[in-house]
């Protein structure tokens, strides 16, 4: 018995040693070289951050090499001035899921990094950055570290939970209890589709009572305690970003139902208020094809005085006809491409040769959606 125990112990020791060698060998092949040179941005580059979603900076560096000859993964790391990157304040992967030797970093991301570095809104200060290369393990820090001077955006230290539009120029009028709520689309970011009346004052508020904090748009900048006006009466999409202090207005000129089988627009949906467009008793007829009746559709929104378009359709590339058991989420609307066929909805079978009410509903407390209701036969 003692001999058996000794032999078992020797065998297990050998097995563990073998596994250890295999693991050591595997880890050896996961080694990468350090990034020796950072290319861009230049050291000590000064950047005044902008609120535009398209504003960005390209970070680029020399490629590292993997011992196994495979792909190297990269992360850009940021730290406070004087930091050693043992605990970076922020890290992000390079473009193409971490495989490119460059990263496109938005100004909004840099603004967040500035806040993590202790910079206040509109304050100018330094952050440092470098690059880590790896095969998923054994990451190594670049030999070079660079400094960047940033001026943070004029965001708000306290971001409201809810935001409303109110005032004589708004749909709800001056009665704050009738203020219309914005939809929260991200942390500190809000959106609303609403009608504004030219020359009449309105403002934004974080509540529907007299004690609510108020905000207004001074051009493209969001500020506290004031009133705004628009030069033209119309339906607008208003985007507020309290993290950057930015305001963006987009005039909505038209909402139409697009019928994919004929590549045409069947009818326009007039705006009726409270974020709703509705066309009543509209004739809808499917298109006869050799394989059956084609019923695919989506919506096109005309913006910026008819010069640009935005498409809204299904989250799915293709769909089956809805029925009584189809969930409400089937009708949810998301931005899609302008392709004739992709991301189309399908009408229910009963809508063929019908008169139907069609509504698009973009409101705060629900997903953006639409409603198709048969009201009669043609």
Query: How does pLDDT run across 230-262, given as a tens digit for each residue?
Result: 999 999 999 999 988 889 999 999 999 999 999
pLDDT score of 68: 86
pLDDT score of 9: 46
- State the pTM of this model: 0.66
Q: Determine the average pLDDT of the residues in 281-304.
A: 95
**Dihedral over Cα of 201, 204, 210, 213: its sign:** negative
pLDDT score of 338: 86
What distance in Å separates the CA atoms of residue 220 and residue 198, rounded to the nearest whole number? Answer: 18
**43-53 pLDDT tens trace:** 999 999 987 77
Contact between residue 361 and residue 287 where contact means Cβ atoms under 8 Å apart: no
Q: In Å, how far from its chain's centre is CA 300?
A: 20
Contact between residue 220 and residue 248 where contact means Cβ atoms under 8 Å apart: yes
The token pair that represents 33 in the structure block: 């070289």
Query: Of 236, 158, 160, 231, nearest to 191 (Cα)?
Result: 236
């Amino acid at each position: 018995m003692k001999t058996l125990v000794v032999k078992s112990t020797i065998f297990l020791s050998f097995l563990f040693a073998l596994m250890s060698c295999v693991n050591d060998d595997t880890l050896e092949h996961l080694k990468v070289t350090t990034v020796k040179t950072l290319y861009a941005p230049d050291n000590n580059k000064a950047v005044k951050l902008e609120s535009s979603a398209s504003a960005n900076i390209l970070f680029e560096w020399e490629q590292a090499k993997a011992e196994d000859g495979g792909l190297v993964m990269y992360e850009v790391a940021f730290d406070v001035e004087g930091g050693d990157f043992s605990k970076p304040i922020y890290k992000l992967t390079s473009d193409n899921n971490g495989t490119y030797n460059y990263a496109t970093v938005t100004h909004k991301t840099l603004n967040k990094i500035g806040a993590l570095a202790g910079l206040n809104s509109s304050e100018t200060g330094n952050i440092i950055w470098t690059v880590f290369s790896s095969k998923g393990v054994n990451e190594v820090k670049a030999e070079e570290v660079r400094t960047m001077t940033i001026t943070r955006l004029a965001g708000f230290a306290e971001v409201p939970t809810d935001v409303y539009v109110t005032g004589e120029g708004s749909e709800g009028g001056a009665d704050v209890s009738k203020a219309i709520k914005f939809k929260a689309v991200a942390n500190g970011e809000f959106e609303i589709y609403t009608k504004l009346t030219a020359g009449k004052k309105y403002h934004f508020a974080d509540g529907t009572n007299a004690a609510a904090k108020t905000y207004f748009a001074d051009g493209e900048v969001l500020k506290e305690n004031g009133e705004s006006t628009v030069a033209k009466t119309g339906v607008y999409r208003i985007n507020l970003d309290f993290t950057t202090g930015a305001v963006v207005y987009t005039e909505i000129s038209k909402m139409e139902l697009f019928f994919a089988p004929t590549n045409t627009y069947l009818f326009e949906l007039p705006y009726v208020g409270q974020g709703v467009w509705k066309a009543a008793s509209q004739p809808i007829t499917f298109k006869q094809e050799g394989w059956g009746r084609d019923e695919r559709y989506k919506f096109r929104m005309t913006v910026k005085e008819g010069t640009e378009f935005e498409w809204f359709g299904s989250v799915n590339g293709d769909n089956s006809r809805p029925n009584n058991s189809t969930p409400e989420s089937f009708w949810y609307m998301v931005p899609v491409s302008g392709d004739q066929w992709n991301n189309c909805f399908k009408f229910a079978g009963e809508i063929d040769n019908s008169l139907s009410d069609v509504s698009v509903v973009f409101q705060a407390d629900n997903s953006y959606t639409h409603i198709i209701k048969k009201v009669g036969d043609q």
